[in-house]
Amino acid sequence: MRLSSLIVGTLLFSVAAHAEDARQRQAREELERQLKMMVGTPPTKIRVTFVGLDEPNIKVVEASFELDGSSLPSPPLSKLGDEGELPIFVGDIEPGEHVLVSKLVLENTASPVLVAEGGMKWPLQLNVKFNALPGIEVAYQIKPSQNPQATDAKQRFTMTAPHNLRMLAKLDDG
């Protein structure tokens, strides 16, 4: 008798737990529906820019940029050597996981007779995995930079990709 009442109690508790989960799910779906009505369904975007080096003897001699294995249009190499920010790609993407790959080859154009690193090349590669969310624009700045603490000449340059997020949706708070 005691065992059967324990089983009945367990069954009632499990039914109550499932009912609570259903209520939580229903509340979540209602909240998502209301938020979608307020916001709409804005696109998911990516913005990729390149920030040139401020080094007169260092030139970009090779460059490629890929998003999820597809090549992005690359500006002329002469423009990649300019100071300031240069747009690479702006466009819509699907929400979810993505991979941005940047490959550069930098070259010291100074004469090897005058400078020890003259004529030296530095291949750089950066792989960035990110999750794009609906209604958000993610902006990456591809930035090669000099590493003054590097004792090995092969590690003199590095590349980073700091990013910013911007909400594209406009809330109608009525």
Question: For 18-52, how does the pLDDT look when each residue is reduced to its tens digit (9 = 90+)?
Answer: 456 788 888 877 876 776 666 566 788 999 999 98
pLDDT at 11: 44
Q: What share of the chain has pLDDT > 70, as a percent?
A: 80
Residues 6 or more apart from 104 whose CB is under 8 A from it?
Answer: 60, 62, 63, 123, 124, 125, 144, 159
Alpha-helical (H) ranges within the chain are 2-39, 77-80
Answer whether residue 4 shows pLDDT above 60. Answer: no
| Range with the poorest average pLDDT among 3-17, 28-42, 57-71, 156-170 | 3-17
Residue of 75, 79, 78 whose CA lies nearest to 90: 75
Q: Which two tokens stand for residue 33?
A: 């529906």
Distance of CA 49 to the CA centre of its chain: 12
Answer whether residue 125 shows pLDDT above 90. Answer: yes
pTM, entire model? 0.71
What pLDDT band is residue 12 in, cutting at 50, 70 and 90? Answer: very low
Answer whether residue 165 shows pLDDT above 70. Answer: yes
pLDDT at 39: 58
The residue with greater pLDDT, 80 or 171, is: 80
Cα 53 to Cα 143: distance, rounded to the nearest angstrom = 8
Answer whether residue 115 shows pLDDT above 80. Answer: no
What pLDDT band is residue 15 in, cutting at 50, 70 and 90? Answer: very low
Answer whether residue 133 shows pLDDT above 80. Answer: yes
Cβ atoms within 10 Å, residue 137: 20
pLDDT at 87: 94
Mean pLDDT of 51-61: 88
pLDDT at 7: 46
pLDDT at 138: 95
Mean pLDDT of 119-124: 91
